[in-house]
Amino acid sequence: DAKTTQPNSMESNEEEPVHLPCNHSTISGTDYIHWYRQLPSQGPEYVIHGLTSNVNNRMASLAIAEDRKSSTLILHRATLRDAAVYYCILRDVDTPLVFGKGTRLSVIA
Amino acid sequence: NAGVMQNPRHLVRRRGQEARLRCSPMKGHSHVYWYRQLPEEGLKFMVYLQKENIIDESGMPKERFSAEFPKEGPSILRIQQVVRGDSAAYFCASSPGQHSNQPQHFGDGTRLSIL
């Protein structure tokens, strides 16, 4: 049972920023927030993760609310290759990844 | 630096046969996880192994399914006497440790079809 809530789908225009929201109101103090994405016919791909502070890497940025009850994955310039299902996952110590339904992102050229 | 390798990519079996799915983790990774994705559904955790040990098999069906990760060689997910409902994509992931801040790296999966 996923502990996160995400919109079923979102659309973005190519080369525009995309903000993918995730609610996790029951997050515990030891839960890390992980984001993965799954392109068609491929395995999930790690995107980014964080605990309390905002995080940046070459793929995306992760903005975490001050109360940690929500977070936003930011793709700075969407490309057609970013069309995928994006999963927001809370992970505690010694627990497996629990995938929900995720957000299906469509990118329009 | 090779990623997680799974083979075969596609596997077709008839009902009642055995299916063996292999997973070679990334170099330096000693933790392996297996997930199953049924058609039009999300990924579900099956089992977590560390070299020669099963750590968590809470997601594994009680019958017909088994997994191992020997000291040498790939991790194997074995399904005996397959049934149509076993048709799915099976993904393997690896990580260097089990801490919750370590990402898992996934292979491209084995797509199992049961005739």
The string of pLDDT tens digits covering residues A61-77 is 999 999 999 999 999 99
A&B contacts, CB < 8 Å: 57
Contact A34 B44 (CB under 8 A): no
Report the residue from B43, B59, B100 with minimal CB separation from A44.
B43
User: Could you report the per-residue pLDDT of B26-62, keeping only the tens digit for each?
Assistant: 998 999 999 999 987 889 999 999 988 999 999 999 9
User: Could you report the per-residue pLDDT of B4-28, keeping only the tens digit for each?
Assistant: 999 999 999 999 999 999 999 999 8
Q: Which positions in chain A touch B109 (Cβ < 8 Å)?
A: 42-43
Cα distances (Å, whole numbers) of residue A54 to A60, A82, A97, B86, B100? 11, 21, 21, 41, 17
Does the pLDDT of residue A35 top 70, yes or no? yes
Residue written as tokens 């594994």?
A: B60
Distance CA B83, CA B68 (A): 21
Report the residue from A30, A43, A100 with minimal CB separation from B107.
A43
B114: closest CA of chain A, how far (Å)? 18
Q: Cis link prior to B8 (omega < 30° from 0)?
A: yes
The chain A residue lying nearest B4, using CA atoms, is A43
| Residue A32 structure tokens | 């890390």
Contact B101 A49 (CB under 8 A): yes
Per the CB < 8 A criterion, the answer to whether A4 and A63 are in contact is no
Per the CB < 8 A criterion, the answer to whether A33 and A52 are in contact is no
Residues 13-72 of A with CB under 8 A from B: 30-32, 34, 38, 41-46, 49, 51
What percent of chain A has a predicted confidence (pLDDT) above 90? 85
Structure confidence at residue A94 (pLDDT): 73
The CA angle A109-A84-B75, to the nearest 5 degrees, is: 150
B41: closest CA of chain A, how far (Å)? 8
- Indicate the pLDDT class of residue B1, thresholds 50, 70 and 90: low
User: Could you give the count of Cα atoms lying within 13 Å of B34 in the half-sphere of its Cβ?
Assistant: 34
**Best mutation site among B9, B24, B98, B100 for testing chain A: the one with the most A CBs within 10 Å?**
B100
Contact A43 B93 (CB under 8 A): yes
Structure confidence at residue A2 (pLDDT): 54
Q: How large is the average pLDDT for residues A36-59? A: 94
Q: How do beta strands A9-13 and A103-108 pair? A: parallel
The CA angle B102-B105-B111, to the nearest 5 degrees, is: 145
A102 touches chain B (CB under 8 A): yes
- Indicate the pLDDT class of residue B97, thresholds 50, 70 and 90: confident
Structure confidence at residue B99 (pLDDT): 76
Per the CB < 8 A criterion, the answer to whether B65 and B57 are in contact is no
Structure confidence at residue B41 (pLDDT): 83
